[in-house]
Amino acid sequence: MKKVRLLSLLSVTALVTTVLVTAPTVANAAPACDGKSPIQSCVGVTSDGAPYAMQVPANFNGTVALYSHGYRYNVDIPAGIPLIGGYKITNTPEPVPGGNAAVAQYFFSQGIAIVGSGFARQGWNPDSAIKTNVELIGTFKAQFPTTTKVIAWGSSLGGVITQGLAEKYPELVSAVAPMCMADNLAPQLTMAGDFLWGVKVLFDPTIKGGNYSPGAAGVAESYGDLVKVFTVMGKLQAALATGAWPDTSSATGKALAAAGVPSRSALLLLGLMAGIPTQSAHFDSVSGPEGALKLTFPLALSPALAILENGTNAAALAVLATQDVENQVGGAFFDNTKTDYSARVDGERVIFNAALSGNTVIDALLGALSAANPGAPRAVANPAAVAKMQALHTNTGKINVPTILMVGMADPITPAGASQRVVDLYADQYAAEKAAAIKAYQTSRSYKTPTNKLLMLWNTTPSSYTKFDAAGSPITSVPAAQGTNHCNFTSAQLVLVAKSLVAASSTGKLPSGGALNTAVRKAGNLSVDKGIRAPWLKSYGDNS
């Protein structure tokens, strides 16, 4: 097999929009507007030092769309680091997703203004970002006093920020759309941390993987970890067909190798126990090349290849976000001393039995990763750091205003389960609202059905999409399939969300019925099927 190109971390390197305007440096001053027509541009800085950008059409109708961007590194990444090197910290304002021209054009055509902040702090920042957005809404209304409605949306971490804004300040927004929304901090970084811990324990014990030193020393340690992680993933990629183990493997890993355990099966198990999707940008889990591998490839190889692509993203997130959050809370917060990884894969060990090389291999791997094995030391958190982390902003999942969720079914960074959790919580919320309405009817004899406030758009993967060359090797140079990668949405899908936000803000009701179904079909690769279910992030089951 040819080597598979490692995923280039689109989840975190393609976050910065084209600079629409240059923000001034004077904080908390009135925005500076250029007065141009048909689009007027304004810039400014909030009281916390966050630059912002506004664009207002001449036919402004009183509605403004506030966009919150996703996670951006809070450290520069040296050019020598593979895949993501050369990144520079930026707080460029992002008034529409990725500077998408089709989205901006739609809003302007409707007389709707757009606004976005670069935020005062990069990295994990909901506490800071929500405050910035509240101030920014007030600043916009002061500058444009005919404002009547604010619609808010965001991607990834920006989805967390958007949901948090609607939970804490529902009076400020008419409708919201958290897209490819991250989960809360603990489950989100547990997913990434579980995978990184497994890579460290089996494939390279010199990876620090957390408990980084304070300040510049910890940043340097995270750089070293990135290099090691990408190196290990490259070695696993090169040996996927043979099952050979990296030469950096731990004593535990080498013992498994000596027992005949393929490295690809070990890699897959790490992905499954962390909850990483087994469909990725180029591997659909069902296709095989013509010939002898037609059936073997999807059963035995494709899941591991998907984890190779998705896991590279997850491990990089674990390194960079862990260092970021540890710096905020004052120490290590990831702790798997009580995690039962065997329980985590009870169902998957049956589904992926062939790719995991059978029960004997599965049991050997789980034994090697168990807390009883001194060769697989568990990560221990600092209790004070955990307490500080728990004090950071956490979304409850309560839906206060019309809300639109959209997520890829195989998003490796913000799994669909994060959105599924909100769907499930809202089902309980709606049932409670309905029960209250029935109880009120017994007194008033007037029944009012609660209004549905949640629309779930699933960005689905095609039925098959893995491509092979004439020699039967997978082709990974083609664009990522829909429903895979992080926040991998088309302009048509983003415009659909924008239109749905505008409609909901105008009527107080979300689109539904035939009109919605038609719009969803035209946008492509979306579904509103209520029968779709995505698993919650794995760590929620740890406490069940």
- pLDDT the model gives residue 12: 32
Closest CA to 321 of 184, 201, 119, 198: 184
Closest CA to 164 of 191, 139, 185, 138: 185
Closest CA to 321 of 50, 9, 91, 67: 9
- pLDDT the model gives residue 8: 32
Task: Write the pLDDT tens digit of every residue in 221-235.
Answer: 999 999 999 999 999
What is the distance of C-alpha 365 from the center of its chain? 28
- pLDDT the model gives residue 498: 98
pLDDT in tens, the chain (544 residues): 333 334 333 233 322 233 344 445 567 779 999 999 999 999 999 999 999 999 999 999 999 999 999 999 999 999 999 889 999 999 999 999 999 999 999 999 999 999 999 999 999 999 999 999 999 999 999 999 999 999 999 999 999 999 999 999 999 999 999 999 999 999 999 999 999 999 999 999 999 999 999 999 999 999 999 999 999 999 999 999 899 999 999 999 999 999 999 999 999 999 999 999 999 999 999 999 999 999 999 999 999 999 999 999 999 989 999 999 999 999 999 999 999 999 999 999 999 999 999 999 999 999 999 999 999 999 999 999 999 999 999 999 999 999 999 999 999 999 999 999 999 999 999 999 999 999 999 888 888 899 999 999 999 999 999 999 999 999 999 999 999 999 999 999 999 999 999 999 999 999 999 999 999 999 999 999 999 999 999 999 886 5
Angle, alpha carbons 246-247-250 (nearest 5°): 85
**191 residue type, one letter:** M
Tell me where in the chain the CATH 3.40.50.1820 domain(s) lie. Answer: 10-184+396-543
CA distance 76 to 161: 23
Both tokens of 131, joined, read 């405050």
Contact predicate 406/497, CB 8 Å:
yes
**71: Cβ–Cβ under 8 A, 6 or more apart, which residues?**
12, 15, 123, 124, 156, 157, 182, 321
Q: Which helix (H) or strand (E) holds 516?
A: helix 513-523
- pLDDT the model gives residue 10: 28
- Match 């908390």 to its residue by tokens: 28
What is the distance of C-alpha 215 from the center of its chain? 26
Strands 467-468 vs 474-475: parallel, antiparallel or unpaired: antiparallel
CA distance 497 to 518: 14
- pLDDT the model gives residue 82: 87
The upper half-sphere exposure of residue 457, i.e. CA atoms within 13 Å in the direction of its Cβ, equals 34
CA-CA distances (angstroms) from residue 76 to 19, 79, 81, 92? 19, 9, 11, 15
Closest CA to 321 of 217, 195, 193: 193
CA distance 455 to 426: 11
**436: Cβ–Cβ under 8 A, 6 or more apart, which residues?**
none
Both tokens of 328, joined, read 């905020």
- pLDDT the model gives residue 447: 86
Q: How many CB atoms lie within 10 A of CB 435?
A: 11
Task: Write the pLDDT tens digit of every residue in 93-141.
Answer: 999 999 999 999 999 999 999 999 999 999 999 999 999 999 999 999 9
- pLDDT the model gives residue 543: 67
- pLDDT the model gives residue 26: 62
- pLDDT the model gives residue 320: 96
Q: Quick one: 10-184+396-543 is in which CATH superfamily?
A: Alpha/Beta hydrolase fold, catalytic domain (3.40.50.1820)
CA distance 430 to 399: 9
